[in-house]
Amino acid sequence: MSFFSKLRGITETLFQLGIDRAQLKSQVTGELEIRNDTDTGFAVLRVGTPVGANDATTLAALQARALLTKSGIAAGGSFSGNPKKTTITFVTPFSDALYAVQLGCVTTSGKTFAPIVESQLAGSFVINVGTNNVTDLVQVDWSAIKNGEAV
Protein backbone atom coordinates (compact mmCIF):
# COMPACT_ATOMS: atom_id res chain seq x y z
CA MET A 1 0.00 0.00 0.00
CA SER A 2 1.39 3.38 -0.95
CA PHE A 3 1.96 6.27 1.46
CA PHE A 4 -0.83 8.25 -0.19
CA SER A 5 -3.32 5.38 0.22
CA LYS A 6 -2.44 5.17 3.92
CA LEU A 7 -2.73 8.96 4.30
CA ARG A 8 -6.11 8.91 2.56
CA GLY A 9 -7.34 6.20 4.97
CA ILE A 10 -6.11 8.13 8.00
CA THR A 11 -7.69 11.35 6.72
CA GLU A 12 -11.03 9.59 6.12
CA THR A 13 -10.86 8.22 9.67
CA LEU A 14 -10.24 11.73 11.02
CA PHE A 15 -13.31 13.00 9.18
CA GLN A 16 -15.34 10.18 10.75
CA LEU A 17 -14.06 11.33 14.15
CA GLY A 18 -15.42 14.81 13.47
CA ILE A 19 -12.25 16.53 12.37
CA ASP A 20 -13.75 17.84 9.15
CA ARG A 21 -12.60 20.64 6.84
CA ALA A 22 -9.06 19.61 7.70
CA GLN A 23 -6.05 21.87 7.33
CA LEU A 24 -2.83 20.04 6.58
CA LYS A 25 0.27 21.59 8.13
CA SER A 26 3.67 20.10 7.38
CA GLN A 27 6.29 20.30 10.10
CA VAL A 28 10.07 20.26 9.73
CA THR A 29 10.22 17.53 12.41
CA GLY A 30 8.72 14.83 10.17
CA GLU A 31 5.15 15.29 11.34
CA LEU A 32 1.98 16.24 9.56
CA GLU A 33 -0.71 18.04 11.55
CA ILE A 34 -4.30 17.63 10.46
CA ARG A 35 -6.53 20.26 12.11
CA ASN A 36 -10.13 21.30 11.82
CA ASP A 37 -10.99 24.77 10.56
CA THR A 38 -11.30 26.24 14.07
CA ASP A 39 -8.03 24.69 15.33
CA THR A 40 -9.91 22.98 18.20
CA GLY A 41 -9.50 19.39 17.05
CA PHE A 42 -6.42 17.86 15.54
CA ALA A 43 -4.31 14.77 15.02
CA VAL A 44 -0.62 14.48 14.31
CA LEU A 45 0.81 11.95 11.88
CA ARG A 46 4.40 11.18 12.84
CA VAL A 47 6.97 9.22 10.92
CA GLY A 48 8.46 7.77 14.13
CA THR A 49 7.16 6.87 17.55
CA PRO A 50 3.93 8.51 18.76
CA VAL A 51 4.38 10.99 21.60
CA GLY A 52 0.95 12.50 22.21
CA ALA A 53 -2.67 11.55 22.78
CA ASN A 54 -3.68 13.08 19.44
CA ASP A 55 -1.06 11.21 17.41
CA ALA A 56 -2.20 9.19 14.43
CA THR A 57 0.49 6.65 15.18
CA THR A 58 2.54 4.24 13.11
CA LEU A 59 0.84 1.31 11.40
CA ALA A 60 2.26 -1.15 13.95
CA ALA A 61 0.89 0.86 16.87
CA LEU A 62 -2.52 1.18 15.22
CA GLN A 63 -2.62 -2.57 14.55
CA ALA A 64 -1.69 -3.32 18.17
CA ARG A 65 -4.59 -1.16 19.39
CA ALA A 66 -6.97 -2.66 16.87
CA LEU A 67 -6.17 -6.26 17.84
CA LEU A 68 -8.77 -6.42 20.57
CA THR A 69 -10.03 -9.87 19.56
CA LYS A 70 -8.18 -13.15 19.30
CA SER A 71 -9.63 -16.51 18.29
CA GLY A 72 -8.58 -20.04 17.57
CA ILE A 73 -9.18 -23.74 17.90
CA ALA A 74 -8.03 -26.18 20.58
CA ALA A 75 -7.97 -29.65 18.99
CA GLY A 76 -9.57 -32.44 21.03
CA GLY A 77 -6.22 -34.24 21.17
CA SER A 78 -4.52 -31.28 22.87
CA PHE A 79 -6.40 -31.87 26.15
CA SER A 80 -4.70 -33.90 28.87
CA GLY A 81 -4.99 -34.74 32.57
CA ASN A 82 -8.05 -35.59 34.62
CA PRO A 83 -10.22 -33.64 34.05
CA LYS A 84 -8.99 -32.79 30.54
CA LYS A 85 -7.42 -29.33 30.23
CA THR A 86 -5.36 -27.39 27.72
CA THR A 87 -3.60 -24.03 27.82
CA ILE A 88 -4.14 -21.47 25.09
CA THR A 89 -1.10 -19.18 24.74
CA PHE A 90 -1.40 -16.02 22.63
CA VAL A 91 1.34 -15.17 20.15
CA THR A 92 0.90 -11.54 21.23
CA PRO A 93 -0.53 -11.14 24.75
CA PHE A 94 -3.22 -8.67 25.72
CA SER A 95 -2.03 -5.72 27.84
CA ASP A 96 -3.70 -7.30 30.90
CA ALA A 97 -6.06 -10.14 31.85
CA LEU A 98 -9.22 -8.05 31.41
CA TYR A 99 -10.80 -9.90 28.48
CA ALA A 100 -13.79 -12.18 28.01
CA VAL A 101 -13.45 -15.71 26.60
CA GLN A 102 -16.24 -17.51 24.73
CA LEU A 103 -16.03 -21.27 24.17
CA GLY A 104 -17.90 -23.63 21.84
CA CYS A 105 -17.47 -27.36 21.24
CA VAL A 106 -17.49 -29.40 18.04
CA THR A 107 -18.26 -33.09 18.62
CA THR A 108 -18.70 -36.20 16.48
CA SER A 109 -21.93 -37.48 18.04
CA GLY A 110 -23.66 -34.42 19.45
CA LYS A 111 -22.34 -35.14 22.95
CA THR A 112 -22.53 -32.06 25.15
CA PHE A 113 -19.47 -30.67 26.92
CA ALA A 114 -19.43 -27.71 29.30
CA PRO A 115 -15.94 -26.21 29.00
CA ILE A 116 -14.93 -23.44 31.38
CA VAL A 117 -12.03 -21.02 31.60
CA GLU A 118 -10.10 -22.14 34.65
CA SER A 119 -7.46 -19.42 34.82
CA GLN A 120 -6.73 -16.34 32.77
CA LEU A 121 -3.57 -14.26 32.34
CA ALA A 122 -2.66 -11.51 29.85
CA GLY A 123 -0.89 -14.03 27.62
CA SER A 124 -2.86 -17.24 28.15
CA PHE A 125 -5.86 -19.02 29.59
CA VAL A 126 -6.71 -22.62 30.53
CA ILE A 127 -9.73 -24.48 29.15
CA ASN A 128 -11.13 -27.22 31.42
CA VAL A 129 -13.73 -29.50 29.76
CA GLY A 130 -14.76 -30.86 33.16
CA THR A 131 -14.50 -34.56 32.28
CA ASN A 132 -11.90 -37.18 31.51
CA ASN A 133 -13.88 -38.79 28.66
CA VAL A 134 -13.37 -36.61 25.57
CA THR A 135 -13.59 -39.31 22.87
CA ASP A 136 -16.29 -37.42 20.96
CA LEU A 137 -14.63 -34.01 21.30
CA VAL A 138 -13.26 -32.81 17.95
CA GLN A 139 -12.27 -29.30 19.04
CA VAL A 140 -13.08 -26.35 21.24
CA ASP A 141 -13.47 -23.09 19.35
CA TRP A 142 -12.54 -20.03 21.39
CA SER A 143 -12.55 -16.27 21.06
CA ALA A 144 -11.14 -13.70 23.47
CA ILE A 145 -12.37 -10.12 23.37
CA LYS A 146 -10.75 -7.25 25.27
CA ASN A 147 -13.15 -5.73 27.80
CA GLY A 148 -14.32 -2.24 26.96
CA GLU A 149 -16.13 -1.57 30.23
CA ALA A 150 -16.17 -3.01 33.72
CA VAL A 151 -19.03 -2.88 36.21
- Residue 3 confidence (pLDDT): 54
DSSP collapsed to 3 states, the chain: CCHHHHHHHHHHHHHHCCCCCCEEEECCCCEEEEECCCCCCEEEEECCCCCCCCEECCHHHHHHHHCCEEEEEEEHHHCECCCCEEEEECCCCCCCCCEEEEEEEEECCCCCCCCEEEEECCCEEEEECCCCCCCCEEEEEEEEEECCCCC
**Total-model pTM:** 0.58
- Residue 68 confidence (pLDDT): 80
The band of 9, judged by pLDDT with boundaries at 50, 70 and 90, is low
In the chain, the domains with their CATH numbers are 3-66 (no CATH), 69-146 (2.60.40)
Average pLDDT over residues 69-95: 93
